[in-house]
Structure formats: structure tokens, C-alpha cells
Amino acid sequence: MKLLAYMAANEDLLGRFMGLSGLSPDDLRQGIADPAFQAGVLDFALSDESLLLAFAANAGLDPASLMQARSKMPGFAP
């Protein structure tokens, strides 16, 4: 998952995510293939506009495409 890799490259950002989510490093490794986990990571980015825009620019994505992707994942509530 590109977003999680992007976050992992920034120790402060990953630490904030882990602190807010209560996840351990083992939880991250185990959850990476879980669509619900991926949705949670994306929710974290969508809740922080500066993170969302920085990641989208880094990945060459339109920020709106991330919201579209989220709408197709488990637990989406418009």
C-alpha cells in the first residue's frame, strides 16, 4: 500500500497514525492486506488535508481519486 509506505518514510507521521489508532508495528504488518485496515489508513489521510495533498502529489494522483477509492472500500459512509 503506497500510502502506508509514504507514511512510514516519515517517522513523525507514522508515529501519529500509530498513536491515534493504537496499532503496534506488528498490527501494521498483519493488517496491510486487510481491506478494512487499508480503509482506516486512507481515512487517516483523508482527515488531514496537508497529508492528503502531499501524498497525492508524491504519488502522481489526483486527490479526488483517493476519495473515490475510499468510497469503494469497507465501511464507507457518505
pLDDT tens profile 11-55: 999 999 999 999 999 999 999 999 999 999 999 999 999 999 999
Using the predicted structure, report yes or no on whether residue 77 has a pLDDT greater than 80.
no
- Nearest C-alpha neighbor of 26 from the set 10, 39, 37: 37
Measured between alpha carbons, how far is 18 from 40 in angstroms, rounded to an integer? 11
Structure pTM? 0.87
Question: Which cell numbers hold the place of 31?
Answer: 493488517
Using the predicted structure, report yes or no on whether residue 78 has a pLDDT greater than 90.
no
How confident is the model at residue 74, as a pLDDT?
84
On the 0-12 / 13-18 / 19+ scale of CB atoms within 10 A, 63 is middle
